[in-house]
């Protein structure tokens, strides 16, 4: 260090998070961490923090850290997670762009529910009732009819009063939709997609995975083919493990954890009972009680990260399904029009970015996977 006495003395008064400008020369030195050393000849203090930084090198409760999320994201661990998130999003875009998919922007305000559920955030839209989107899928179906292969990427909202390690009220989804496609096509697409994402993170973010102490051998095992089992086979596996599930029951977090722990890579579960799935899912022609749908469960107990399937493309069948689900036809008339004017078989899926990040990073909770998570009853900062 070759700076004046005044500047050197100032270094003794520096506090954590104070802002500096250091001017000097970078020189190679095998003895230095990283193999380089900075020889400083000028030091300028931009801001001297006047009080103790709230987050100290000691045990803090999760509640405290979340209250100080705006400062917590400066830590090495949080930066590593968010850099991996960044890489994952880049990988999503590159995967679909390289395969000729067309990026579309779907609306955040919607007049109806994609899933036909009550887990909606409702708002007044100039005298009309509107909802924050649960998915861009229905609009993707419209644009897929125009462009063939599309995907959207954006925030989605679920007013589920679920306080689990897998749930956020606001999260980001990437959703591809493909015209002239069936269930088998999107199962293969999902397999290629996840394989590509993991490979990209392993290639570009090894240092961040090291910071997180992630066992990369677990990620290196994510190669095709992924195991594929039917819903019925999954129920049998669960019952053999002592789980009380019965045919026709939906899988919860416990069931997904058991199933995903049985495999060293993602597992695709397909053909769930129609009654468990949304109104737009196509029936299996060989068994109308089953839907041509799939869920992809991440290994190591992380559970579902992808959900999708083949959509109903016949107008009369869609109208009957809307009626059976008690949904008003007039609210979905534009969606019915897609089956009236030039309909084709089509399929797609959605992947929640935060759950994928949690799995790849080996995190216990999704709250660390997004800069400012929106949790149940938690909207600050």
- Domain locations in the chain as residue ranges: 5-53, 64-369
Q: Which sign does the torsion angle of CA 289, 290, 291, 295 carry? A: positive
- Cβ atoms within 10 A of the Cβ of 263, count? 16
Maximum Cα–Cα distance across the chain: 85
d(CA 179, CA 348): 9
The architecture in CATH of the region 64-369 reads 2-Layer Sandwich (3.30)
CA dist 117 to 114, 326, 345, Å? Answer: 8, 11, 25
Listed residue (138, 153, 115, 144) closest to 352, CA to CA: 153
Tokens representing residue 259 in the block: 């199933």
Coil, strand or helix at 249: coil
Tokens representing residue 381 in the block: 């900062």
What's the confidence (pLDDT) of residue 40?
86
DSSP states along 148-170: SEEEEEEEEE------STT--SE
d(CA 193, CA 201): 13
What's the confidence (pLDDT) of residue 159?
92
What's the confidence (pLDDT) of residue 118?
65
What is the signed CA dihedral for 312, 110, 357, 367, rounded to 10 degrees? -140
Please state the three-class secondary structure of 292-318 as a single string.
Answer: CEEEEEECCCCEEEEEEEEECCCHHHH
What's the confidence (pLDDT) of residue 282?
99
Contact 306, 350 (CB under 8 A): yes
DSSP 142: H
Q: Which residues of the chain are modeled with pLDDT < 50?
A: none
| β 128-132/267-270 pair status | unpaired
What's the confidence (pLDDT) of residue 117?
61
Instruction: Determine the topology of domain 5-53 in CATH.
Output: OB fold (Dihydrolipoamide Acetyltransferase, E2P) (2.40.50)
Do 5-53 and 64-369 have matching folds? Answer: no
CA dist 211 to 60, 77, 84, 317, 333, Å? Answer: 19, 6, 11, 52, 51
What's the confidence (pLDDT) of residue 73?
98
CA dist 239 to 247, 293, 297, Å? Answer: 10, 22, 18
My answer on whether omega of the bond before 141 falls inside 30° of 0, hence cis, is: no
Q: Which residue's structure tokens are 């979905």?
A: 332
What's the confidence (pLDDT) of residue 140?
98
Name the packing angle between helices 353-361 and 183-204 (round to 10°). 50
Contact 141, 168 (CB under 8 A): no
What's the confidence (pLDDT) of residue 255?
98
Distance of CA 214 to the CA centre of its chain: 19
Tokens representing residue 229 in the block: 């089992």
What's the confidence (pLDDT) of residue 2?
61
Phi/psi region, residue 34 (left: phi>0; alpha: psi -120 to 50; beta: rest), is left
């Amino acid at each position: 260090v070759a700076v004046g006495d005044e500047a050197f003395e100032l270094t003794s008064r520096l506090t954590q998070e104070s802002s500096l400008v250091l001017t000097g020369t970078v020189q190679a030195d095998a003895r230095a961490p990283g193999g380089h050393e900075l020889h400083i000849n000028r030091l300028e203090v931009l801001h001297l923090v006047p009080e103790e930084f709230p987050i100290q090198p000691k045990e803090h409760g999760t509640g405290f850290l979340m209250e100080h999320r705006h400062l917590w994201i400066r830590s090495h661990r949080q930066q590593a997670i968010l850099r991996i998130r960044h890489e994952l999003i880049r990988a999503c875009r590159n995967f679909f762009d390289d395969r000729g998919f067309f990026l579309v922007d779907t609306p955040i305000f919607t007049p109806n529910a994609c899933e036909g559920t009550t887990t909606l955030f409702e708002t007044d839209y100039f005298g009309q009732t509107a909802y924050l989107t649960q998915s861009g899928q229905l609009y993707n179906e419209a644009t897929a009819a125009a462009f063939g292969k599309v995907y959207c990427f954006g925030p989605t909202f679920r007013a589920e009063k679920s306080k689990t390690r897998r749930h956020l009220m606001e999260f980001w989804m990437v959703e591809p939709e493909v015209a002239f496609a069936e269930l088998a096509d999107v199962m293969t697409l999902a397999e290629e997609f996840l394989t590509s994402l993991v490979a990209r993170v392993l290639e570009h973010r090894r240092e961040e995975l090291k910071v997180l102490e992630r066992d990369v051998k677990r990620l290196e095992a994510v190669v095709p083919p992924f195991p594929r089992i039917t819903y019925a086979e999954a129920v049998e596996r669960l019952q053999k493990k002592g789980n009380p599930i019965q045919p026709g029951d939906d899988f919860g977090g416990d069931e997904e954890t058991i199933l995903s722990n049985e495999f060293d890579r993602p597992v695709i579960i397909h053909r769930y009972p129609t009654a468990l799935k949304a109104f737009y899912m196509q029936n299996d022609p060989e068994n109308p009680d089953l839907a041509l749908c799939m869920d992809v469960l991440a290994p190591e107990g992380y559970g579902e990260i992808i959900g999708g399937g083949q959509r109903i493309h016949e107008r009369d069948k869609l109208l009957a399904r809307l009626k059976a689900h008690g949904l008003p036809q007039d609210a979905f008339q534009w969606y019915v029009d897609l089956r009236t004017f030039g309909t084709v078989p089509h399929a797609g899926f959605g992947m929640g970015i935060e759950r994928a990040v949690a799995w790849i990073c080996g995190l216990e909770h999704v709250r660390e996977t997004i800069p400012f998570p929106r949790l149940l009853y938690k909207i600050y900062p």
